[in-house]
Amino acid sequence: MSFKISDVSKTEKNAQFSIDKSEVLNNYSEIVKLFQKDADLKGFRKGKVPINVVESIYSEQINEELKTRLINVHLRKLAVEQKINIVKTKDLEHGDVNKNADFKFSLNFEFIPEIKLAKYDSLVVNKEIFSVKKKDVDDAINSILTNFASNEEITNRKKVKKKDIVSINFSGELDGTLVKDLTRENAMVEVGNESLIPAIDTEINGMKIGEEKIFDVDYPKDFPIKEAAGVKMQCKVLVNKIFKKVTPKLDNEFLKKIGLNSKSELKERISNDLSKSYETKSEGTLRKNIGDKLMSDNDFDFPNSFIEAEETRLSNEYMNRMSQQGIKIDEVDNKTKSVISESANRNVKLALIFAEIAKLENISVADEEIEAVLNSMAKAQKASINKIKKYYEENNLLDDVRAKLTDEKVIQLLISKATIKEVKSKKSSIS
């Protein structure tokens, strides 16, 4: 075998192969014998069909198997000899395969270049520390009360005003065609809270119960419903009822309702919950800062296919979230695409850095550790461990579990070796 390699980019090469006819013939003979062994033809004992008969009947399958074997074997040889980590092949070109002739083929392949990491075992990073303030507790109490708020119908007023909760029927038409995903019956909207497109909010404000209004609205280009994005829609609104939000008082009756005995008990519980939340947030800032440091310290190229695959995964996740919220979209808007692209780049680069650290530090994950994770999942979902395991095996998700566990071991190693500077947060509260 001979091959010639040329660079396409920093992460892609072209390879041209030429395989001597003697090697082609040897592989051909081996494959024919395998077909002969399994051949089951009327008039012959299994495995005893003459070679010439096997060649005649299975010629197409034999040549296809021969071509596949030659390509795969020699691509693996190239990877081993050149110490190249091939991740994807494309643009395969080849002539007809013939047992009595040289076989030539060419292809492009993406590969992971050698990653030479900057020093990572003595990182200096900040950890943002959050403290529970009186305002945080008060805001949390207000949030609890708001969650228990009820809508009370207004009967002594017919006209909609700001901060009203309004029951409406809504529809949108484009060139006389109803857009189904915009149609809503008895939809509850709050006027003036920025949940609506400003033009629609303005039109509803001042309408009366039973009033119907038709008006045009220029929908933004990034609107999640594809049919409406960036176009002028004819909208129809009918006001059904007007409500006001009634927030309960923080009295003994309410405290009893949520299973508490006093305001002080409520504040103490909130303070404890916030402290735990803030600790989690603080840990999150540390992990992010470690990631940022690794990103800035290490500059290397990696295959485009990695980015494309991660972008696809993140896009699908986003579209599924939208679907769960009742918003059907066929594609991601440009603004979200930009965010996804940035996230994909970070995810891929950090994954490669973590994988390289794991290799250098001999970090691995035992099967027992994966089993423990699956057991935890089974308990949380109240399902059998066998069912969970079967699902992860059938969907090829076990490697994902192993990767996540490995990454966690890497981040813990980095934290243990890092110089961590605690910085008091300037924020009054966190979300």
pLDDT of residue 330: 73
Any domain includes 135: no
Based on the domain organization, do 358 and 267 belong to the same domain? Answer: yes
pLDDT bin (cut points 50, 70, 90) of residue 425 is confident
| Average pLDDT rounded to a whole number, residues 251-270 | 93
DSSP assignment letter at 42: T
CATH number at residue 197: 3.10.50.40
- Whether residue 329 is contained in a domain is answered as yes
Percentage of the residues of the chain whose pLDDT score is greater than 70: 98
Mean pLDDT of all residues belonging to the chain: 91
Q: How many CA atoms lie within 13 A of 288 on its CB side?
A: 9
Strand spans (E) along 223-326: 232-246
Domain check: are 203 and 154 in the same one?
A: yes
Q: What is the mean pLDDT of residues 231-239?
A: 94
Q: Are residues 7 and 108 in the same domain?
A: yes
What distance in Å separates the CA atoms of residue 242 and residue 164, rounded to the nearest whole number?
Answer: 7
218, 246, 274 — which closes off a domain? 246
Q: Are residues 105 and 161 in the same domain?
A: no
Asked if pLDDT for residue 430 goes beyond 50, the answer is no
- Interacting residues of 228 by C-beta distance below 8 A, sequence separation 6+: 172, 174, 179, 182, 219
Cβ pair 206, 240 in contact under 8 A: no
Q: How many domains does the structure of the chain reveal? A: 3
Based on the fold, state whether residues 181 and 239 are members of the same structural domain: yes
CA-to-CA distance for 217 and 302, rounded, in angstroms?
45
Domain boundary among 112, 132, 162: 112
104 and 206 in a single domain? The answer is no
- List the Cα angle 354/357/360 in 5-degree steps: 155
Same domain, 52 and 169: no
Dump pLDDT digits (tens) for 384-403.
989 999 999 989 899 999 99
Q: For position 328, what pLDDT does the model report?
A: 72
**The residue to which tokens 């643009």 are assigned:** 91
399 in the same domain as 335: yes
C-alpha–C-alpha distance, residues 180 and 324, integer Å: 17
pLDDT band at 53 (very low <50, low <70, confident <90, very high): confident
Query: For residue 204, is it within any domain?
Result: yes
Q: Label residue 332 by pLDDT band (50, 70, 90).
A: confident
> DSSP 3-state assignment of 168?
strand
343 versus 2: the higher-pLDDT residue is 343
Give residue 416's domain range: 255-424
Whether 430 is covered by a domain: the verdict is no
The Cα 143–Cα 251 span in angstroms is 15
| pLDDT score at 1 | 65
Q: Is residue 133's pLDDT more than 80?
A: yes
Nearest of 112, 114, 107 to residue 86 by alpha carbon = 112
Q: Where are any strands of DSSP class E within 113-223?
A: 124-129, 150-153, 165-174, 177-178, 184-190, 212-218
pTM for this prediction: 0.74
- State how beta strands 103-112 and 85-94 pair: antiparallel
pLDDT at 140 over 50: yes
| CA angle in degrees (0–180, nearest 5) for 282-285-134 | 40
Identify whether residues 325 and 346 lie together within a single domain.
yes
> Over 60: is that where the pLDDT of 428 sits?
no
Q: In the listed set 246, 278, 301, which residue is the last one of a domain according to the structure?
A: 246
* 298 inside domain: yes
Per-residue pLDDT, 287: 96
Q: Is the pLDDT of residue 418 over 80?
A: yes
